[in-house]
Amino acid sequence: MSARAIRADTEEKDMSEERPSGDPIRVLVWGENRHEVLEPHVAELYPEGMHTTIAEGLRRVLGPSVEVRTATLDEPEHGLDEQALEWADVLTWWGHKAHREVQDEVVDRVQQQVLSGLGLLVLHSGHFSKIFRRLMGTTCSLSWRNDGRQERVWTVDPGHPIAEGVPNPIRIDKQEMYGEFFDIPAPDELVFISSFEGGEVFRSGCTFRRGNGRIFYFSPGDQEYPVYDHPDVQRVIANGVRWARDPRGERRLPGLRRVAERSVW
Amino acid sequence: MSARAIRADTEEKDMSEERPSGDPIRVLVWGENRHEVLEPHVAELYPEGMHTTIAEGLRRVLGPSVEVRTATLDEPEHGLDEQALEWADVLTWWGHKAHREVQDEVVDRVQQQVLSGLGLLVLHSGHFSKIFRRLMGTTCSLSWRNDGRQERVWTVDPGHPIAEGVPNPIRIDKQEMYGEFFDIPAPDELVFISSFEGGEVFRSGCTFRRGNGRIFYFSPGDQEYPVYDHPDVQRVIANGVRWARDPRGERRLPGLRRVAERSVW
Amino acid sequence: MSARAIRADTEEKDMSEERPSGDPIRVLVWGENRHEVLEPHVAELYPEGMHTTIAEGLRRVLGPSVEVRTATLDEPEHGLDEQALEWADVLTWWGHKAHREVQDEVVDRVQQQVLSGLGLLVLHSGHFSKIFRRLMGTTCSLSWRNDGRQERVWTVDPGHPIAEGVPNPIRIDKQEMYGEFFDIPAPDELVFISSFEGGEVFRSGCTFRRGNGRIFYFSPGDQEYPVYDHPDVQRVIANGVRWARDPRGERRLPGLRRVAERSVW
Amino acid sequence: MSARAIRADTEEKDMSEERPSGDPIRVLVWGENRHEVLEPHVAELYPEGMHTTIAEGLRRVLGPSVEVRTATLDEPEHGLDEQALEWADVLTWWGHKAHREVQDEVVDRVQQQVLSGLGLLVLHSGHFSKIFRRLMGTTCSLSWRNDGRQERVWTVDPGHPIAEGVPNPIRIDKQEMYGEFFDIPAPDELVFISSFEGGEVFRSGCTFRRGNGRIFYFSPGDQEYPVYDHPDVQRVIANGVRWARDPRGERRLPGLRRVAERSVW
């Protein structure tokens, strides 16, 4: 089994081996890939699927410091078998109409990996994915209206690495509106807030840490608009990937741990 | 259906009706009630079950400002049917050896109620209950050693209502040790940290808000020691109950909400 | 000296005496009261000063459960002598053009009181007051544009007591725009986010806890518009006052505390 | 003026230039350097001053990826003139008996630099320094007892970069006790909690973000014990320095910013 297999965290902590910092970040871009196949106007925007566009954006911004693969719902185990997840440093997730088709065993597996140190980026309608709801514990519901009007993404934490090199605001010409109340736990860090032409606001860039894993939710990105071609959106996703990567070389699931001996002061 | 039935939060928010502040807080004390029945030394400490002792502690501290009922695992639906949950303002949860016997449908129901505004106190080994893990999204694992030695509970947030009237530290003569790493999301507020005779530390009093609900985890309270007879522990639980109560008169589950019309500036 | 004089927190903590919960909340509304005196169009909106309007709003919403006094910059010690501060449970602060005229000794005194348990509401341009900057440690700067257009105040934490009974959004017809980046520490709780007709967003309702004190910053309320006559704004301020009140009967300044004896486990 | 001079943040944000990630981190280690000069038993532990030992620890752990200078109280401007602060990516601060001798102008300058992006590590008795109290807004008081007994530093956030490669717990044989209540704002992240032989606990590793700056408080390190020779303590400080460094190439002070034009949706 590879060195990245999850280990239970039941021994005295070792000095962890760090991967050489020069190693590229390995990103697995997961896409539901249904709208793109079934709906011509989406296929026109994303002829090879949104996952491909997202992957290319990462390569464009991060160059040789990233290694990207993609996986989609209709692959065996949704392309998310143990080996694929162990390979990845960071997983990005876009899903919408087929959340229910994602198998619970796969969700269990992804959750275990995230709690063990796999970084996770949840994009747009992924707010309602099983994996995000599982990790948040809340309904993750929100308000919405698909009227293809403007969104602006404002930085409220300019010192955060995910905001690096990002204009304030990002201007997106056509987007679906996502508004509050967004039923998530208070994020550990709030990086972006969006405004919409209809006057609504949304906490559009939120970080969460769970177990040994880092999670970044970023809301821009509906299938009906070419949002993932937007260079600033690509930049945010690239920054998110860099932030979400655990520099440690191994993956550990926090575990129940019996401390047999009382140590003596 | 009662006024406390959960309503989907899909309409324009109304001015909410507040329950008269003089109304007693309705607390449902849930106990697994197995150790007390099966193990003589536990039965001796808690002849009517830990839930009964916890309930009495609430009545002692809060007097007429509280109304308390109890429920246990072996009742139909574990004593947690819709009606019982709608009645309650706050639910307290103690479980240990039979976490797996709690039916998933009941866990679903409790989660919905908490997200809709039911307060929840999770006590001691309840850290590993299905409901707590569900709401946290993490493993909720920790370190432990049952050697019946001292615990001290230190207040690190003296202005918090849950710390009101609580000595610093609370001294508990005999307790199981619970130590870090405790795999929970960073709590919204950290109220207490415990130290143990063996030198360990534990984040023993943590608050979390999820949906419209308030959650307080408090770790003291093993079945093998008379911790729930301790007046300071009773005081903390009573403070927790007062804090966890949602003053609003109705329960609402955050829901997906389509905003049909774009409003005009 | 009154029972509310600050005591150093250098002894073993006592069971604190709670004030009877039926006691009215004592609020001191502080106003700079310069624009109202010097500028006719402001005087027309607030003929008796903004502090008077704010005070009346509190009385309207909270009735006999509140007792309100006012104080202004040009009174001796700005109306903020020891006695006035000891009397108050909560202080509200509006200032703008004369921040620099507030004496440093008075700022010291208010800071000590807040850290000892006095609640503080900082309103609108009070973001740049000495007391707020002192308590935050940051520049508290922001973006702004006074074009008298619409603001909407969205609730992002509907279970928070400060959001009780508040419509989502609050609509304010004419207001100055305050936008991000707002240079404050990440708030302990984010309750409201505002959007503006020009597309900007602002974290307009933020809570902070410092020492034993609770601080609520709420941004609506420019002197050029009748914002403090708005019933929803009055409701938020009233909720803020209830939230910021420390239920404990005495005021204690956290102090350095030598623990002479090592206790024995 | 150098590229690191603070710029007011009053223009549209530019794509920031990142310093090449291979550049060494520039750390300025500041020491009060009084105990070491005046007290023979301290001079014996730290013959060249604690600042020298801290600097050497950084070089030992970080090697060529760090460049370290030192500065002390008795130098002109305490060795903290504009040039020195502009040079540094991160400043570490140890002071104790002479906090009051630090000039207010220098404190102003350091605060401006931190809010503009200079990283700051505050060590042990630095909790009572002017700069830390200024940035926190609270009294920063705590409990203490100098009895030279054991401290253990427990990791409560194992996924945090500051905890990388740090054993859990760190065992320090002789240390002064620092206990709660520690009057700081709730930290943005709590990384370490210490326990002491006398049973006390302390939030010993806390992060705060203020403006564009990152602050890490770490409590181990009294002048009477050789704590800064401890390899695990050196490791934590080195991790802290890496974490506190702002990757951006320039320093910007958040500023008031008038947005003249309302943009059109």
From first to last of its 265 residues, chain D has per-residue pLDDT tens of 345 778 766 544 333 344 455 789 999 999 999 999 999 999 999 999 999 999 999 999 999 999 999 999 999 999 999 999 999 999 999 999 999 999 999 999 999 999 999 999 999 999 999 999 999 999 999 999 999 999 999 999 999 999 999 999 999 999 999 999 999 999 999 999 999 999 999 999 999 999 999 999 999 999 999 999 999 999 999 999 999 999 887 899 999 999 987 767 7
Question: Which of D144, D148, D168, D171 lies closest to D158, judged by CA?
Answer: D168
Spatial separation of the C-alpha atoms in residues D36 and B257, rounded to whole Å:
65
Indicate the pairing of strand A143-155 with strand A189-196.
Answer: antiparallel
C-beta separation of A237 from A53 below 8 A: no
What's the mean pLDDT in A230-244?
98
Touching C: which chains, 3+ CB pairs < 8 A?
A: A, B, D
pLDDT in tens, B67-120: 999 999 999 999 999 999 999 999 999 999 999 999 999 999 999 999 999 999
Nearest C-alpha neighbor of B4 from the set B249, B254, B253: B249
For chain B, give me the number of helices (H) and strands (E)?
7, 12
What is the mean pLDDT of the segment spanning B152-160?
Answer: 97
pLDDT at site A3: 53
Q: Do the beta carbons of residue A215 and residue A135 sit within 8 Å?
A: yes
Q: Give the nearest partner residue to D137 out of C188, C210, C257, using CB atoms.
A: C210
Answer whether B221's CB lies under 8 Å from B200's CB. no
Percent of chain C with pLDDT over 70: 92
* Beta-carbon pairs below 8 A across chains C and D: 118
Mean pLDDT of chain B, nearest integer: 93
Neighbours of D154 (CB within 10 A): 24
Query: Which residues of B are less than 8 Å from A254 in CB distance?
Result: 138-139, 141, 181, 183
| Residue D173 forms contact with B (CB below 8 Å) | no
pLDDT on residue A13: 39
Q: What is this structure's pTM?
A: 0.95
CA distance B57 to chain C (A): 18
- Picking from B156, B189, B196, the nearest residue to D181 by CB comes out as B156
* pLDDT single digits (tens) A139-148: 999 999 999 9
B180 touches A: beta carbon within 8 Å: no
The pLDDT of residue C19 is above 70: no
C247 at interface of A, judged by CB pairs closer than 8 A: no
pLDDT at C20: 53
Is some CB atom of chain D closer than 8 A to the CB atom of A220?
no
Rounded CA separation B244/B117 (Å): 9
Rg (CA), chain D: 19
pLDDT class of C248 with cuts at 50, 70, 90: confident
For tokens 């290694």, the residue is A67
D104 touches chain C (CB under 8 A): no
D156 touches chain B (CB under 8 A): yes
Closest chain D CA to residue C183: D211
pLDDT value of residue A225: 95
Residue of B nearest to A209 (CA): B185
pLDDT top residue among C250 and B36: B36
Q: Which of D75, D88, D82 is nearest to D27 (CA)?
A: D88
At B187, give phi and psi (nearest 5°): -65, 150
Write out the two tokens for A205. 């860039």
For the segment B201-214, the average pLDDT, to the nearest whole number, is 98
pLDDT digits (tens, 9 = 90+) for C193-215: 999 999 999 999 999 999 999 99
- The per-residue pLDDT for B20 is 53
Distances (CA, A) of A82 to A133, A212, A254: 21, 18, 18
Choosing among D143, D184, D201, D207, which should be mutated to test the B contact, i.e. which has the most B CBs within 10 A? D201
Q: Does D12 touch chain A (CB under 8 A)?
A: yes
β-strand pairing of A201-210 with A189-196: antiparallel
Measured from the Cβ of residue B263, the count of other Cβ atoms closer than 10 Å reads 11
Superfamily name and number for D24-134+203-253: Class I glutamine amidotransferase (GATase) domain (3.40.50.880)
Residue A4 pLDDT exceeds 90: no
In sequence order, what are the residues at sequence separation of 6 or more whose Cβ sits closer than 8 angstroms to the Cβ of residue D54?
A: D29, D31, D92, D94, D123, D228, D237
D145: three-class secondary structure by DSSP? strand
Determine, for residues D168 and B182 on separate chains, whether the beta-carbon distance falls below 8 Å.
Answer: no
Q: Residue B54 corresponds to which amino acid?
A: I
- Hunting for tokens 């102090």 — which residue is that? C255
pLDDT for B73 equals: 98
Phi-psi region of B72 (alpha: psi -120 to 50; beta: other; left: phi over 0): beta
Residue from the list D185, D197, D258 with its beta carbon closest to the beta carbon of C144: D258
- Which residue, B111, C192, C180, B261, is CA-closest to A143? B261
What's the pLDDT tens digit per position in D34-43? Answer: 999 999 999 9
Mean pLDDT of B234-255: 94
Residue B165 and residue C209: Cβ atoms within 8 Å?
A: no
Instruction: List chains adjacent to chain D, taking adjacency as at least 3 C-beta pairs closer than 8 Å.
Output: A, B, C
**pLDDT band, residue A14 (cuts 50/70/90):** very low
Preferred mutation among D194, D248, D250, D252 to probe A, highest tally of A CBs within 10 A: D248
pLDDT in tens, A92-147: 999 999 999 999 999 999 999 999 999 999 999 999 999 999 999 999 999 999 99
Q: Which residues of D touch B201 (CB under 8 A)?
A: 152, 154, 156, 193-195, 201
On the question of pLDDT at B14 being above 50, the answer is no
